[in-house]
Chains A and B, each alone.
Chain A
Amino acid sequence: MMQPCQRSAILPLTFVGGMWLMLGNAVAAPKKEPTAPPVQEQQAADLTAPELLKEGRAAFDGQDFAKAEKHFDQLIADYGENAEVAALVDECRPMLAMCKVKAKAFEEAVVLIDASLKNAKLPTAAREELQFWRGICLLQTGEVMPAQEQFGEYYADEKHDRTRRFEAFLLFGTGYIQLKDYAGAADFFGDQIPKLPPDQAEVGGRATVLLLHSLIEAGRDDETLSLIRRTFPKLQSLTQIVSFQLLTLSLGAQLLADEKHYAAITCLNRLWPRERLLKHQQTQLDAWKQRRDLLKKEGAKREALVYQVEGIITRIERELETFTRIESYDAALKLRLAQAFMGLQRWREAGMILDEAVATLEPDKTVEQAAITAIDCWQQTGDNARVIAAADRYLDIYAEHRRGDHVPDALFAKGEGLRGEGRQLEAEKEFGDVANDWPLLPIAPRAMLMGGICQMERGQSDTALITFEALRKRFKKGPLHEDAMFWEGMALSLERRYDEALKRLAAHLEAYPKGRYTPAADFERARCHHNQTKHTEAAELFKEWLKQHGGDKQENEARLLLAESLMASGEMQAGLKMLAEIPREDSKLWEEAQFKQGEALRKLGDSEKVRAHYETFIKENPRSRRLAEAAMWQSRAVQKLGQPDAARELVWSTLEKVGDDPANEGVEDLLGGLTKLYRGPDELRQLTTELEERTATARKAGKKTLALRLTWAEANAVRPHSALQAQNLCCSLSDFLDPAVHHPRIIADCADAWREVKSIARAKQLYLDLRKWHPRAVEKERSSYGLGMISLAAGETDEALQWFDRCVAESITGASGNDAQLEKAALLRKAKKPQEAVVALEAVTTNRLATSAQKARALLALGYAAMDAGDDKRAAKHFERCYVSGAKWKDTAAEAWLQHGLVLEKLKERAAALTAYRALLEKKDLASLSPAKEARARIAALEGGVP
């Protein structure tokens, strides 16, 4: 089965140290306390042969091998040739051989063993022992092949001690390793391990470690990784678990250095952390010791097993001792694994490992580097929250007294993370800290620049300007001087300080004529003129820009603005020509140019050309999202050409083409413009009939979106004359409505209609669907208001307040937002929070988007609020302002007149009160309203007569 290696070499002891020690222990153990020397020790030379044997044996048993060796050597020297004491010599020889082993005199030991083995009377146990040790000695003397032969013979004899037999098996394989024949060792162990009997799991484990070592040394990576994969799931069954893992770590490190990242990960992500290894080995050690103690109690018959267990214990102890001496094992492992993941650009995995390393390892320079690398990894994943967290962790550990080398980098990264999360104000603070606290570092000007950019992003271009100017002054010759100058110009432009912007940008261009911002700065200068409506200058600059920077990313935008400037300067044809130069490939700007051309033609009053232009556009761009818009302009042109029927037909045909496609933008606008094509009651009737018929046809054809849009258009058409019919039509929209795809305006109209008819559940669902599918639609504020009104009707005032607040926050058009403020104020008044109510109402009166009706209602409510607060004079003023500025809102104005009179009465201003009541009654449109009735009663009460 086992063939010895054919090569010979000096046997290094290092690798088999573990094994050798076990055997050494077996010889030495059990250790006894040193025996005290006899009081009168005789000199060996004076002793007889039996005395020499006796003394030698006593020393041997007492493990004083040097003394035993001396006596036995003496015995052989004096009596070796004496046949009378040959038996004594034969008896001492094996012991002397073992003494020689202990003294590492292996060659002498081999001679003695060979001589002993020739003794036919040698007891079987001793013979077996010596045969085994002969192999060891041969190994030690470099006689590897004979040693392997010896171990092979020993192993083959099944009568031999089972434990030793498998030690011999291991030593046989070790022979290859001693000779650096790693391939041979790998083949041997690879072949033999699967054949080991089940009770030799421990030997199997040791053999596996040897196999791993051999494979690594042989450079057989495929097999090595396969062994690692196979072994790790059952690693706990290995006693030399530390050796296995250290070998794996070392291989992983090598593979990483060779940039074999997957292979490195295969090794490294299986390794246990130090704590787990130590804990596991300590548990194993305790279990083996417990086992040994139990065996010992069973007496001498279990001695062999005790020896075996002690060998295992020694190996584990040695491993533990070696392992505990290794510093920063965890750091080495984790950082290498992270590096391997980074090699594959698996930033998340690397970040997770580094985060864990930073959280668990003692802080030192390596861990600090890991902490800063973790931030980089999270930046790569785009997970800004993790960037911030990793930066905070770094700063928690290393920012104290600014001792960390990378504190400014961490602060900068945190700033970038915060900026990425849209938290510009907080980001600005971090950038500011870096710039102020580390002014001498290269990162300082960058931080300052980023701070300014954050300010611009927050809409604070005036503050940003100050920052950029400060940056330029502080770092006069810094690399970001150029950036600062450019952004100063941009900030001035955003501030609409165009003349200053022009100068600053000109200065920038003078300082950096071939800088990286040159095209952008030139462009911005032209745009400054354009924004100032200095179109002649703008046109000149844009023309020059196109000459200088043709091919720049802003080229088509420049063409578009140049065209605008040319047309605004009266050069319509030149403008049109420029628009035509914008290529189709830039689809968005090209479409914009087409509509600008249409606009120019409209301004030129050439309706036929407008018609033809949009006809071409529609024909050539049947999939354009602006098709409906084009159709609208085309129909208007046709109408101007005096062909109303043709104009209408154009709209209808466009609707047939694109009206059922929910994604086609502009259809709603097209429908909104329909009423302009049907003037007067008769034509309006014609329109509604047409809409009804087309709706029925669309329904039949299953064109739900078209049917929906036509019904909605009909509702809009009839609303000015019949609010109820419009409401009914809007309610019927829900038959076709799919909130996920249909226009939010239609959803809001439908929801409002259902709310008005008190079908609350349906209305609520529609409002919620609007929010769900159109989170950025302007109609979102209508949904908040509607939901607030629903809550209000249900008596859920807190919820209503929340919705009204949300509506105010979301308000863009002002309509719903101001209504929400009014409802909110009413609730706050009821909740006895007059001051908060006043704040809400004043927000309406000062809002430029508020309608006069809303302002009138706010003033009326402000009057009531002042009365609540007992400030009747202020109340009188509010009521007066209300009916003066909101006179056309009859109900509100009438109520304000009456309340004004009543409050004047309270102020004992009887005459003024009477004037107010009479003024109310004098207004014919108000005299029939209920406040007028009360005014009459008050006049009667004050004067006792008929008003």
Chain B
Amino acid sequence: MAGDVLTLKNGRTADCRILSFTPATVKILWQDKEEREIAMTDIEFISFAPLPGEEAALAKAVSAGDSNPLMETWVKKIPRLGIARNNAGEIGLTYAELLSRNPTADRLARALTVYQQIESSDWSAERRGRARVGRMRLMLRQGRVEEVKPEAEKLLKESQDARVLIEVQHVLAETAAEKLRALLKEHPRWEQEDDVRPQRERLFHEALDAYLYPHVFHGSEEDLAARGLWAAAQFYKENGETGAAREAAEDLVHLYPSAAEKTAAAELVNQLPPRKKQAGAAEADTPAGEEP
């Protein structure tokens, strides 16, 4: 089995094995016997067969939350970043995300390099945007809150891609949440401070709106919508609004039953008491299909 599939701009496809490629041509092994060189300009995209062990490495890395199994795959994939429809950038984004979960200085620096490589070389504008957002999130972790917001707002204006917009909103949400935490650390009795209360309110609502953005406006991006809704639930809880936290978790369970956050959300629903319903409110319907 050759494994790789080359699709030409005229619609033809060829099962083959990619031997090498330059920016101008691709050398393939055709029908396991004949080497051919094809101009990049004639190629629509290449569907690369997974690298040996790639799927297992990805599964292992994601389930364990550990970047190490993916390192080799990522390094091998770097040269493919610019070739349309290949998954090198996706692997890189996952790798960088896993790297940044255990944020030592070295790992953060490596994650930053990965994001920068994707940002500069990936064929997909969407992935370049996501890499840019990933880089901004790293900056946020480094405490560069003030630098992040203007860049995120600039990207928000520039990008048309839904996933990039969502990622930017998430960064803005985290920025506001971080600022709010800093504010509350300085003003733990903010309720009693007339000049601090409006700042707290602004940041609180700003963070929530941005967390809820994908859920409200891009429900089809289920993973990101669920992530945002879960972040909102936790943010509500962190700020003492347990009723709203429960509702956000409840919404997640009902609306995104396949989300990774569902189990945790269901637990939160069980932990927190329900908010008193206002008169005239309709009861939540039983979700069709997947029950929590």
Contacts and interface: CB of A to CB of B under 8 A. Distances in A.
B189 A291 contact: no
Given A235-B220, A270-B220, A386-B205, A294 B10 contact: yes
A421 B198 contact: yes
A259 B282 contact: yes
Contact of A261 (B209, B212, B282): B282
Contacts of A291: 10-11
Contact of B189 (A268, A348, A385, A775): A775
B180 interface: no
Interface in B216-231: 216-222, 225
A266 B193 CA distance: 41
Interface of A: 221-226, 229, 232-233, 235, 259-263, 265-266, 268-272, 291, 294-295, 298, 305, 341, 343-346, 348-349, 352-353, 356, 383, 385-386, 421-422, 740, 772-776
Nearest to A291: B11
A265 B219 contact: yes
Nearest to A341: B216
B251 interface: yes
Specify the main secondary structure of chain A where it touches its partner. helix
Contacts of B221: 233
Contact of A773 (B189, B196, B251, B278): B189
Contacts of B277: 345
Contacts of B218: 269
A260 B192 CA distance: 42
Q: When A and B form their complex, which 10 residue pairs have the shortest distance between CB atoms, in order from nearest? A: A269-B219, A232-B220, A260-B285, A270-B220, A221-B288, A222-B289, A775-B193, A262-B254, A775-B192, A270-B219
Contacts of A233: 220-222
A457 to B, nearest CB: 14
17 contacts: A224-B288, A225-B287, A229-B258, A232-B222, A260-B285, A261-B284, A262-B251, A263-B285, A263-B287, A265-B255, A269-B218, A344-B282, A352-B212, A383-B201, A385-B198, A772-B188, A775-B189
A772 B289 contact: no
B153 interface: no
Given A270-B219, A386-B205, 12 more contacts: A233-B220, A262-B251, A266-B255, A266-B288, A268-B219, A269-B217, A295-B10, A352-B212, A352-B213, A352-B217, A353-B216, A383-B205
Contact of B11 (A260, A294, A348): A294
Nearest to A350: B216
Nearest to A776: B192
Contacts of A270: 219-220
Nearest to B281: A345
Contact of A772 (B186, B202, B290): B186
A574 to B, nearest CB: 40
Nearest to B214: A269
Nearest to B213: A352
A535 B215 CA distance: 63
A222 B222 CA distance: 18
A141 B258 CA distance: 45
Contacts of B187: 772, 775
Nearest to B201: A385
A337 to B, nearest CB: 8
A298 B42 CA distance: 14
Contacts of B219: 232, 265-266, 268-270
B288 A348 contact: no
Nearest to B254: A262
Given A262-B285, A774-B189, A345 B278 contact: yes
Interface string B88-113: 00000000000000000000000000
Contacts of A271: 220
A741 B285 CA distance: 47
Contacts of A345: 277-278, 281
Nearest to B287: A262
Contacts of A421: 198
Contacts of A235: 220
Contacts of B220: 232-233, 235, 269-272
Contacts of B215: 269, 349
A421 B194 CA distance: 10
Contacts of A272: 220
Contacts of A348: 208-209, 212
Given A261-B284, A352-B212, A344 B289 contact: no
B247 interface: yes
B47 to A, nearest CB: 10
Contacts of B202: 385
A270 B213 CA distance: 13
A352 B287 contact: no
A225 B288 contact: yes
Interface string B265-292: 0000000000001100110110111100
A422 B194 contact: yes
A740 B188 contact: yes
B198 A343 contact: no
B289 A226 contact: yes
Interface string B248-271: 000100110110000000000000
Nearest to B290: A226
Contacts of B186: 772
A772 to B, nearest CB: 6
Contacts of A266: 219, 255, 287-288
Nearest to B202: A385
B208 A346 contact: no
Nearest to A338: B216
A215 to B, nearest CB: 11
Contacts of A386: 205
Nearest to B222: A233
* Listed residue (B189, B194, B196) with the most chain A CB atoms within 10 angstroms of its CB: B189
A272 B255 CA distance: 17
Given A221-B288, A349-B216, A344 B251 contact: yes
B144 interface: no
Contacts of A221: 288-289
A421 B212 CA distance: 24
B154 interface: no
A927 B206 CA distance: 68
Interface string B1-26: 00000000111000000000000000
Contacts of A422: 194
B289 A352 contact: no
A221 to B, nearest CB: 4
A294 B192 contact: no
- Give the residue among A229, A305, A386, A422 with the most B Cβ atoms within 10 A: A229
Contact of B205 (A232, A260, A268, A385): A385
A271 B193 CA distance: 43
Contacts of B251: 262, 344, 346
A343 B282 contact: yes
Nearest to B196: A775
A229 B10 contact: no
Contacts of B212: 348-349, 352
Contacts of B10: 291, 294-295, 298
Contacts of A222: 288-289
A450 B221 CA distance: 45
A262 B278 CA distance: 18
B225 to A, nearest CB: 8
Contacts of A346: 247, 251
Contacts of B257: 229
A229 B222 CA distance: 8
A294 B12 CA distance: 11
B206 to A, nearest CB: 10
B73 to A, nearest CB: 24
Given A232-B220, A385-B201, A261 B285 contact: yes
B11 A305 contact: yes
B278 A259 contact: no
